[in-house]
Amino acid sequence: MTMDNRNGITRRGLLTAFAATTVVAAPTYANAFGFLRGAGDIRKVSLVSRRTGERVNTIYWIEGEYIPEALAEINKFMRDWRYNEVKKIDTRTIDIIAASHALLDTSEPFQMLSGYRSPKTNAMLRRNSRGVAKNSLHMKGQAADLRLGSRSVRQISKAAQACHAGGVGKYSGSNFVHMDCGPVRVWGR
Tens digits of per-residue pLDDT, 14-35? 334 433 332 332 333 445 555 5
- Convert the pLDDT of each residue in 141-150 to its tens digit: 999 999 999 9
Q: Give bridge partners of residue 42 from the DSSP assignment.
A: 62
Q: Does the pLDDT value for residue 79 go beyond 60?
A: yes
For all residues of the chain together, what is the average pLDDT? 85
d(C-alpha 153, C-alpha 171), whole Å: 7
Alpha helices in 33-128 (DSSP H): 68-77, 91-104, 119-128
Q: 143 Cβ partners below 8 Å, 6+ apart? A: 93, 114, 115, 136, 137, 167, 178, 179, 180, 181, 182
Domains of the chain: 16-188 (3.30.1380.10)
- Convert the pLDDT of each residue in 37-78 to its tens digit: 544 589 999 999 999 999 999 999 999 999 999 999 999 999
